[in-house]
Amino acid sequence: MIAIRSASEVPWADLERVFETPGDPRTCWCQYFKVTPAEWDATDAQTFATRLHEQTRRGDPTPGLIAYVDDEAAGWVAVEPRDNYPRLRRSRVVQSGSAETWGDASVWSVVCFVVRREFRRQGTSGALIAAAVDRARAGGARVVEGYPVEPALISGSDADALYHGTVSMFEAAGFSEIAVPTPSRRVMARDLSAVA
């Protein structure tokens, strides 16, 4: 059974367990889209971990959600108002693909997924994205954007981009394709304005 909780309501040790997943999570701590390139180059993983800890302890809006499978911390999704991710403003994928105006607080973004290896292919990411949409709606979102990859069109080191999620995940959660800024990347959105 998969349960989703706000990262602001769970023990920090549970976030550490998820972010200690081998690969980028243990160095990024979901801060990549929140800092400038210069800050990224000059900051170590422990500082990023401290920043995420501070962000989750501030309360609402939470920077993300944690999935639990049988009470074990299994995964993470980052979802916040798009303006909380300043690096997205400079992203070629987003610049060329988003139809939304910068500075609109009703536009939220799903930018990152982390699922521990032993919990993959069990519906964890699907549960996280559905909960992210609900969280955005509760926070006043009119639109939720995502920037997933098409796995069939990536190879080698590009596989690292899977943290954005996959096109099929977003489609299953009711997102529609808005743009194809690169062969392997999509801009997808879900309009919440007509949903009660």
Say if residue 173's pLDDT is above 80: yes
* pLDDT greater than 60 at residue 159: no
pLDDT at 156: 59
Q: Find out whether 125 and 162 touch, Cβ atoms under 8 Å.
A: no
Triad 56, 109, 97: Cα angle to 5°: 155
How far apart are the C-alpha atoms of 178 and 99, rounded to whole Å?
8
* pLDDT (0 to 100) of residue 193: 86
- Cβ-based neighbours of 31, under 8 Å, separated by 6 or more: 40, 43, 48, 51, 52
pLDDT, residue 158, reads 53
Whether residue 154 has pLDDT greater than 80: no
Domain 2-191 listed as CATH 3.40.190.10? no
pTM of the model: 0.91
Residue 179 β-bridge partners: 187
**Domain segments of the chain as ranges:** 2-191
The confidence band for 105, taking pLDDT boundaries of 50, 70 and 90, is: very high
